Chain A
């Protein structure tokens, strides 16, 4: 049985109109991958709603990926997605309930993202109601939750009948299952698909026989040929959409005159040193992996992505590729026009952390000096 706890399709809660088409393509691609992989149930996270509830439901129907949520509700309080699914595994019926957190910023985000079309109802009440319905129909019940890790204890403790809570939403992951009151377990796989969890129960021996493994998805696991081919096909489709008939295999940035040259008029030494850094070839790394038309990647490999005067998907201005001066120092329009200070004259490590996130560079803060030295250009 394969399940996911939510936030599968979008990285952001707001999808700019300029990248909506590619975001939809990517969402459809992700759902098709889930279908081929054979997911039995996928919980709905708040970011999954960013392309619209109607579109998400349409996508679920088209790809037959079972999206579930017992407490994302419409204005009348009715569940928008199926609340649960029942699967038969090893001769046993297993009920899988989808839940999203009703605390912290999640409820407000759901309302904002859906323009009030959806809201989050009481998670314990929704779980309790679903469990009551499943009683007599299933042998085991799994709750897929999308909320802060500590809230999983509330579900496990207060809702009788749930055998396993599979949580997600933040980076917390469980190296071993957490037993709760000798009646259920909590597991979490962390974020961004870095790990897959495997929780196994020997039916002959009951809950005492649980085994668990958190498998890192590294290079030691061979590519799946079919999935790899699907991803290549998707990359080709994105290329065709944005390349404007450009020649395959030719980096469109190879002869670009960069915006940075304007800065170099006065800051020649800085510019020369910048040219020796990895920031000066950030776009090329995308091109080498055929990801140079992927908005998710371009956001950190171009200048001020989709901001006024910044790199945008529609025009694809090659003068604004790589991580240039304005990427860290901010919009230099006023500085270039009248020598007003740039918005961020001395960027701190927090600026770096916007792209060098903890999953990509876990030691960024600890090794801040080392990172800063790599891009030093004074």
Chain B
């Protein structure tokens, strides 16, 4: 199975989400002129690829 076709890398997503929502320097949280909506869908219970 191609690595590029694997599904649900939630833990990778978490890193991205964390960087967006609570970035260490708080730049996004402090940017009161913008609303950022991060969205996902249809995860279907996967936490990481089977193999």
A contacts, CB < 8 Å to B:
1-11, 26-27, 29-30, 33, 36-38, 45, 47, 89-92, 94, 140, 142, 164, 166-171, 187-204, 215, 217-219, 221-224, 226-228, 231, 234, 282, 285-286, 288-289, 291, 294, 296-297, 300-301, 356, 359-362
Contact = CB atoms under 8 A, between A and B. Distances in A.
A90 B31 contact: yes
A203 B14 contact: no
8 contacts: A3-B38, A37-B13, A92-B35, A193-B10, A199-B37, A201-B35, A215-B16, A218-B4
B42 A45 contact: yes
A89 B33 CA distance: 10
Given A9-B45, A219-B3, A204 B13 contact: no
Question: Which of B3, B6, B32, B43 counts the most chain A CB atoms within 10 A?
Answer: B43
Interface string B6-43: 11111111111110111000000001111111111111
A285 B16 contact: no
A191 B44 contact: yes
Interface of B: 1-18, 20-22, 31-51
Given A218-B9, A359-B5, A361-B5, A291 B51 contact: yes
Q: Give the dominant DSSP class at A's interface.
A: mixed
Contacts, number: 212
A289 B46 CA distance: 14
Contacts of A167: 41
B42 A170 contact: yes
Contact of B38 (A47, A198, A218): A198
Given A45-B42, A192-B7, A193-B7, A222 B35 contact: no
Contact of B13 (A164, A190, A196, A202): A196
Contacts of B36: 1, 198-200
Given A189-B39, A195-B40, A197-B39, 20 more contacts: A8-B43, A10-B44, A11-B44, A90-B32, A169-B41, A170-B42, A190-B41, A192-B43, A192-B44, A192-B46, A193-B40, A194-B8, A196-B38, A201-B34, A219-B12, A222-B15, A231-B47, A296-B46, A297-B51, A301-B50
A179 to B, nearest CB: 16
Contact of B41 (A91, A188, A288): A188
A2 B16 CA distance: 11
Contact of A7 (B1, B3, B16, B42): B42
A297 B37 contact: no
Question: Which of B9, B36, B41 counts the most chain A CB atoms within 10 A?
Answer: B41
Contacts of B7: 191-194, 359-360
B51 A288 contact: yes
A37 B14 contact: yes
A221 B17 CA distance: 11
A170 B42 CA distance: 7
B14 A224 contact: yes
B51 A285 contact: yes
Contacts of A29: 47
Contacts of B18: 37, 224
